[in-house]
Amino acid sequence: MESYSKILLQEREKGRTINKKRVEKILRKLLIELGENPDREGLIGTPRRMAEAFEEIFAGYTMSSGLDVSFSEETDAIIAKDIQFYSMCEHHMLPFYGKVHIAYLPEGKVFGISKLTRLVEKYSRRMQIQERLTKQIADEITKMGVRGVVVIAEGEHLCMKMRGVRNHSLVVTMAHRGLMEQKELRENILTLISNSKPGLRSF
Ligand SMILES: [Zn+2]
């Protein structure tokens, strides 16, 4: 088993996506374990469709954000609000999804909104927990050279809604780095985020 996962890991590092044929076989077995007949009409193509869906849902492992492509701009703060994300809870393998808001203080260069969206996809399209998703986005932006960043994620978790305690609350997580660690500055930015219209804004 260990060598099998080692091979898969090596394939991942080479940028290869999932092996759909192998995944299909596993999903067919899963259907049988669940008490289903994988050969009945409605299910005959299900393992293939699921494998294709997984390829998309877990594409984050081989994605790059492209954040290195930036342009020069003198501005104090930039807010990218309401970036939609879909992710999979790593504890139950059920979806959690919602919005990410990113506010950062550039250091001479700014990132396009499409790059920030891609950054969110890189870390959401994988097995994840919302706290780590928030931190990883903040860390990659920090690494690219900004004076400060705050990332807020608001997520609905199907593993909380469909099962267990059936808690319907929205989970909010936040990560802040650099100058955004100053409480007063962060609070000003948070007010801007909650008052502003969706989209990209600079101040
Ligand atoms: Zn869960």
- Three-state secondary structure string covering 136-154: HHHHHHHHCCEEEEEEEEE
How far does residue 98's CA lie from ligand 1's centre (Å)?
A: 15
Q: What's the whole-number average pLDDT of the chain?
A: 89
Write down the pLDDT at residue 4.
Answer: 64
Distance from Cα 21 to the centre of ligand 1, integer Å: 27
d(CA 45, CA 201): 45
Whole-angstrom distance, CA of residue 88 vs CA of residue 92: 8
Look at residue 70 and tell me whether its pLDDT is greater than 80. Answer: no
Residue 54 DSSP SS3: helix
Residue 6 tokens read as 């080692």
| pLDDT of residue 69 exceeding 80 | no
So what's the pLDDT on residue 1? 47
Mean pLDDT, residues 124-130: 97
CA atoms within 13 A on the CB side of 11: 10
3-state secondary structure of 110: strand
Residues 68 and 202: their CA atoms lie apart, in Å, by 20
Which of 3-17, 35-49, 68-82, 177-191 ranks highest by mean pLDDT?
35-49
CA distances from 186 to 17, 80, 125, 190 (A): 39, 15, 28, 6
From ligand 1's centre to the CA of 54, what distance in Å? 17
**Spatial CB neighbours of 151, under 8 Å, sequence gap ≥ 6:** 100, 101, 102, 134, 135, 137, 138, 141, 174, 175, 176
Give me ligand 1 centre to Cα 180, in Å: 30
Q: What is 70-202's CATH number?
A: 3.30.1130.10
> Are 12 and 61 within 8 A, CB to CB?
yes
Q: What is the residue extent of each domain of the chain?
A: 2-57, 70-202
Between the ranges 2-6, 11-15, 68-72, 111-115, where is the mean pLDDT highest? Answer: 111-115
Amino acid at 17: T
Kindly report the pTM of this predicted structure.
0.87
Does the 2-57 domain belong in CATH 1.10.1760.20? no
Separation of CA 150 and ligand 1 centre (Å): 25
